[in-house]
């Protein structure tokens, strides 16, 4: 299992997180099903998919699933409740203390400022020291409010536990007072309301903060899980804006999402050519090279390396 970062800094590369399947924390049966699904990441949810009366129960079911199920090669995360609720501190404490050694990351929803991340980071420091875990529990921050997007630069730098920034379109829409066009509110039938991509700025801002800090950028879920065309459109757009993966709310969405975020043969071939040309240029003491008439510099080289490493990890090419 590769949970470690393969690169540091801006081009930090982690195990691919193309698809993130969220599963209600109080549904043990769904956890079992999810443990063998095609998602790169399974996110056990204690927040909005769990009704208030089931929060305590969900917490213990999630702990039990973390400890007892075989998750194979999948990354497993837990979304705790928002830090402004009465559930969050106990979610963080109980889940991390009891099953932190099985946990890749804690997902914090409704992150509004860097202090939210500092708080979780400090708690996790103490828990890890106390429990003597050998793994370091990561943090994923869902940005889903006007305040969160305003403070995103500070949030993205707040802890070296941070792995991803995730866009939450439903809560973000509510926060800025943007009209929802479907019950799910996740990107469906947007064109009926606005002649463009309504979330372009918010997603691009999030991608910018993520990439400037070596983090992965994840797009929000697409709520209508029988609309494959709409899902694909929304995934392709997010990918074009620089997102590395997309959240899924149903296993039926995984094939489309994985396919959109998997580097294509052309991408991989191009990356291979760039790596070769740049390494040769470096040997000759040059800082730039060209491939098919396009200039290749250090940034292009790093991006190509990222594509190559992802492809390697996914078994699309043999390890160098």
Closest CA to 146 of 110, 118, 194, 185: 110
> For the window 95-124, what string marks contact with ligand GLV as x by the rule CB under 6 A?
--------------x---------------
- Output the residue with the shortest Cβ distance to ligand GLV: 168
List the alpha helices (DSSP H) in 177-252.
200-212, 228-240
Closest approach, Cβ 306 to ligand GLV, in A, equals: 26
What is the residue whose two structure tokens read 């990918």? 239
25 binds Mg ion (CB under 5 A): no
Interacting residue with ligand GLV among 25, 82, 100, 168 (CB under 6 A): 168
Distance of alpha carbon 6 from alpha carbon 320, whole angstroms: 14
Asked if 171 interacts with ligand GLV (CB under 6 A), we say yes
Question: Which residues within the stretch 59-88 sit at the binding site for ligand GLV (CB under 6 A)?
Answer: none
**Do residues 274 and 299 lie in contact, with contact meaning Cβ atoms separated by under 8 Å?**
no
Nearer to ligand GLV, 140 or 244 (CB): 140
Size of the site for ligand GLV (CB under 6 A): 8
In angstroms, what is the minimal distance from the CB of 48 to Mg ion? 6
In the complex, minimum distance from the CB of residue 248 to ligand GLV, in angstroms, rounded to a whole number: 12
Closest by CA to 204, choosing from 239, 254, 233, 172, is 239
**Phi-psi region at 142: left, alpha or beta (left = phi > 0; alpha = psi -120 to 50):** beta
Cα(178)–Cα(282) distance, rounded to whole angstroms?
50
Residue (10 or 201) nearer to ligand GLV, CB: 201
Q: Does 169 bind ligand GLV (CB under 6 A)?
A: yes
Site membership for ligand GLV, residue 190 (CB under 6 A)? no
Token code pair at residue 217: 């950028």
| CA distance linking residue 123 with residue 119, whole number of Å | 6
Q: Which residues lie below 8 Å from residue 194, measured CB to CB, with a gap of 6+?
A: none
Considering the complex, what minimum distance in angstroms separates the CB of residue 144 from ligand GLV? 5
List the one residue out of 73, 86, 69, 92 whose CA is nearest residue 23: 69
Judged by CB under 5 A, does residue 112 bind Mg ion?
Answer: no
Strands 245-248 and 289-291: what pairing? unpaired
140 is an interface residue for ligand GLV by CB under 6 A:
no
**For residues 50 and 271, which CB has a smaller minimum distance to ligand GLV in the complex?**
50
CB 240 within 8 Å of CB 233: no
Among 45, 171, 188, 244, indicate the residue that binds Mg ion (CB under 5 A).
171
CA nearest neighbour of 138 among 108, 116, 112: 108
- Considering only residues 16, 100, 168, 223, which one is a binding residue for Mg ion as defined by CB under 5 A? 168
Total binding residues toward Mg ion, as defined by CB under 5 A = 3
Instruction: List residues binding ligand GLV (CB under 6 A).
Output: 109, 142, 144, 168-171, 220
Instruction: List residues binding Mg ion (CB under 5 A).
Output: 144, 168, 171
């Amino acid at each position: 299992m590769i949970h470690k970062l393969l690169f540091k800094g801006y081009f930090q590369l982690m195990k691919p997180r193309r698809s993130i399947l969220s599963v209600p924390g109080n549904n043990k049966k769904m956890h079992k099903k999810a443990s063998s699904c095609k998602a790169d990441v399974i996110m056990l949810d204690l927040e909005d998919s769990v009704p208030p009366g089931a929060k305590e129960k969900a917490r213990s079911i999630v702990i039990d699933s973390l400890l007892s199920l075989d998750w194979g090669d999948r990354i497993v995360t837990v979304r705790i409740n928002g830090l402004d609720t009465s559930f969050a501190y106990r979610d963080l404490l109980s889940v991390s203390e009891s099953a932190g050694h099985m946990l890749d990351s804690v997902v914090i929803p409704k992150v509004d400022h860097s202090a939210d991340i500092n708080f979780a980071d400090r708690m996790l420091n103490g828990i890890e020291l106390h429990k003597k875990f050998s793994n370091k529990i990561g943090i994923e921050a869902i940005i889903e409010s006007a305040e969160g997007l305003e403070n995103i630069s500070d949030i993205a730098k707040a802890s070296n536990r941070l792995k991803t920034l995730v866009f939450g379109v439903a809560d973000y829409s509510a926060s800025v007072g943007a009209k929802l066009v479907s019950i799910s509110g996740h990107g469906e039938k947007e064109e009926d309301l606005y002649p463009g991509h309504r979330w372009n700025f918010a997603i691009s801002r999030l991608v910018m903060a993520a990439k400037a800090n070596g983090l992965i950028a994840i797009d929000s879920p697409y709520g209508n899980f029988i609309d494959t065309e709409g899902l694909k459109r929304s995934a392709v757009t997010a990918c074009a804006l620089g997102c590395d993966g997309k959240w899924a709310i149903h296993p039926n969405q995984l094939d489309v999402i994985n396919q959109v975020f998997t580097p294509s043969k052309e991408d991989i071939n191009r990356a291979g050519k760039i790596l070769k040309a740049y390494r040769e240029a470096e040997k000759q003491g040059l800082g730039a090279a060209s491939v098919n008439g396009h200039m290749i510099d250090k940034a292009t080289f790093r991006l190509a390396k990222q594509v190559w490493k992802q492809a390697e990890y996914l078994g699309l090419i043999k390890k160098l």
